[in-house]
């Protein structure tokens, strides 16, 4: 039976990044993924799932050797972030405020996954079990027996990067705290009459925000938050009918649009009660899901991966076992407070801007008005959102 140091379940962006990050430390890695990633054709339509990759995440992907494989002709650099409710309180954040050339990139999730898979396939110490899936885990004192569909393997640790409905988290009986926001979000890929812009923006309405995420060649991804019933209704419309609804509901910054694709999902918050339990470690959405208001989900996941890599590197450098309980707790201690702070911050914004009181509305707009003129405080907030210390 083949033995590994770490078995990673889930080969998406976070799982693949974990495999590369720990493989770089010389550990023997098993990566278990149900679906073989399919290649992208140069002219295929943009995927619905895109991520706002922060500067910090871009730099991490560069250190892993993956960023060089991102096709930047299919990604969009953005330099500005606009936020407003009433026009007088429009607030804009610019990369110049933090001394950077840009704030981040809009990149298709699939591109990032494929770039990471190109890297991990070059590592002789990373074995891919794909397509394959986990059937059972049996824990022993020093190792785990892991039964896959294809065969059985042994591993010192099992790392869960298998998403919000993590099978590993459930098998480990790790509980969750969280709630359903009672809203859904719709993703809409559009072609705009305007040229590609260097700004991503978000406008708040009583029914929820609407957002614009720029993509290359006059394309964009729109995000529309609303009640579950309304998003269900919108999902049933034809693309032409939906384009008409978008024109009525979104700011006139879009110009004429053509809807190319759409999808929807419910908004929930979930936070694992433990990131580590015995020989099980949670990363990314398996550990936490966040309100997508500021697009921080995948960026928090990459921070998890980096923190785990650093905890393991420190232990190995000091001649300690990478799977020692203190090492694993150091990872959780490094990540839980930051994740919780970001989750709570997004919830605070969501709750403040969804409150119907005219007094609260005035206060929040005055707050936006003041933040536009907040100088260093504004710059520090922007730097934190970009992952810059």
pLDDT at residue number 376: 57
The rounded distance, in Å, linking the Cα atoms of 282 and 169 is 7
The rounded distance, in Å, linking the Cα atoms of 288 and 275 is 9
Token pair listed for 209? 């925000």
What band does 196 get if pLDDT is binned at 50, 70 and 90?
Answer: confident
The rounded distance, in Å, linking the Cα atoms of 106 and 104 is 7
Token pair listed for 123? 């590592």
What band does 181 get if pLDDT is binned at 50, 70 and 90?
Answer: confident
Just give the CATH number of 3-74+108-178+269-353: 3.50.50.60
DSSP code at position 121? T
Q: What is the mean pLDDT of residues 238-262?
A: 94
Q: Torsions phi, psi of 317, nearest 5?
A: -65, -25
pLDDT at residue number 119: 98
Q: Is a pLDDT exceeding 60 seen at residue 377?
A: no
The closest of 257, 256, 261, 206 to 235, measured between CA atoms, is 261
What band does 362 get if pLDDT is binned at 50, 70 and 90?
Answer: very low
Q: Quick check: 28 and 179 in contact, CB under 8 A? A: no
Q: Is a pLDDT exceeding 80 seen at residue 158?
A: yes
The rounded distance, in Å, linking the Cα atoms of 31 and 11 is 7
Tell me the domain boundaries of the chain.
3-74+108-178+269-353
What band does 370 get if pLDDT is binned at 50, 70 and 90?
Answer: very low
Q: Is a pLDDT exceeding 50 seen at residue 359?
A: no
pLDDT at residue number 360: 47
What band does 169 get if pLDDT is binned at 50, 70 and 90?
Answer: very high
Instruction: Give the CA distances from residue 246 to residues 4, 47, 121, 211, in Å, rounded to whole numbers and listed in that order.
Output: 51, 19, 42, 11
Q: Is a pLDDT exceeding 90 seen at residue 387?
A: no
pTM over 0.85: yes
Q: Considering the chain, what is the average pLDDT of its residues?
A: 89
Question: If DSSP codes are grouped into helix, strand and coil, which group holds residue 295?
Answer: coil
| Residues in CB range of 180: below 8 A, 6 or more apart | 266, 267, 268
What band does 308 get if pLDDT is binned at 50, 70 and 90?
Answer: very high
Q: Is a pLDDT exceeding 70 seen at residue 112?
A: yes
Q: Quick check: 268 and 178 in contact, CB under 8 A? A: yes
The rounded distance, in Å, linking the Cα atoms of 343 and 178 is 10
| Bridge partners (DSSP) listed for residue 138 | 145
Token pair listed for 254? 């879009």
> What are the tens digits of pLDDT across the range 313-357?
999 999 999 999 999 999 999 999 999 988 887 776 666 555 455
Handedness of CA 58, 59, 61, 67 (dihedral sign): positive
Length of the chain: 389
Q: Quick check: 87 and 204 in contact, CB under 8 A? A: no
| Residues in CB range of 341: below 8 A, 6 or more apart | none
Q: What is the mean pLDDT of residues 77-105?
A: 87
């Amino acid at each position: 039976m083949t033995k590994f140091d770490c078995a990673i379940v889930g080969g998406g962006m976070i799982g693949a990044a974990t495999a590369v990050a720990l493989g770089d430390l010389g550990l023997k890695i098993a990566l278990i993924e149900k679906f073989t990633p399919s290649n992208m054709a140069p002219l295929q339509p943009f995927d619905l799932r895109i991520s706002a990759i922060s500067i910090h995440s871009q730099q991490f992907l560069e250190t892993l050797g993956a960023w060089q494989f991102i096709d930047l002709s299919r990604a969009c650099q953005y330099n500005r972030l606009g936020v407003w409710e009433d026009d007088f309180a429009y607030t804009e954040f610019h990369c110049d405020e933090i001394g950077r050339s840009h704030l981040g990139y809009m990149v298709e999730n699939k591109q990032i996954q494929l770039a990471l898979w190109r890297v991990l396939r070059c590592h002789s110490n990373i074995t891919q079990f794909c397509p394959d899936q986990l059937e059972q885990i049996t824990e022993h004192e020093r190792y785990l027996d892991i039964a896959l569909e294809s065969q059985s393997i042994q591993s010192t640790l099992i790392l869960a990067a298998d998403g919000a409905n993590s099978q590993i988290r459930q098998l480990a009986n790790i509980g969750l705290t969280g709630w359903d926001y009672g809203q859904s979000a719709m993703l809409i890929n559009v072609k705009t009459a305007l040229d590609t812009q260097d700004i991503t923006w978000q406008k708040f309405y009583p029914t929820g925000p609407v957002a614009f995420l720029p993509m290359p060649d006059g394309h964009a991804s729109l995000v529309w938050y609303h009640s579950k019933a309304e998003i269900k209704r919108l999902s049933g419309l034809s693309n032409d009918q939906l384009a008409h609804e978008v024109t009525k509901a979104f700011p006139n910054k879009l110009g004429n649009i053509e809807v190319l694709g759409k999808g929807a999902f419910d908004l929930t918050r979930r936070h694992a009660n433990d990131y580590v339990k015995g020989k099980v470690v949670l990363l990314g959405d398996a550990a936490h899901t966040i309100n997508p208001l500021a697009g921080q989900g995948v960026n928090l996941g990459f921070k998890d991966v980096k923190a785990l890599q650093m905890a393991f590197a420190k232990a190995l450098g000091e001649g300690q076992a990478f799977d020692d309980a203190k090492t694993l707790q150091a990872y959780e201690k490094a990540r839980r407070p930051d994740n919780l702070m970001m989750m709570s911050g997004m919830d605070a914004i969501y709750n403040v801007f969804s409150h119907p009181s005219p007094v609260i509305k005035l206060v929040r707009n005055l707050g936006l008005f003041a933040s536009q003129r907040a100088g260093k405080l504004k710059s520090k907030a922007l730097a934190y959102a970009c992952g810059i210390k």
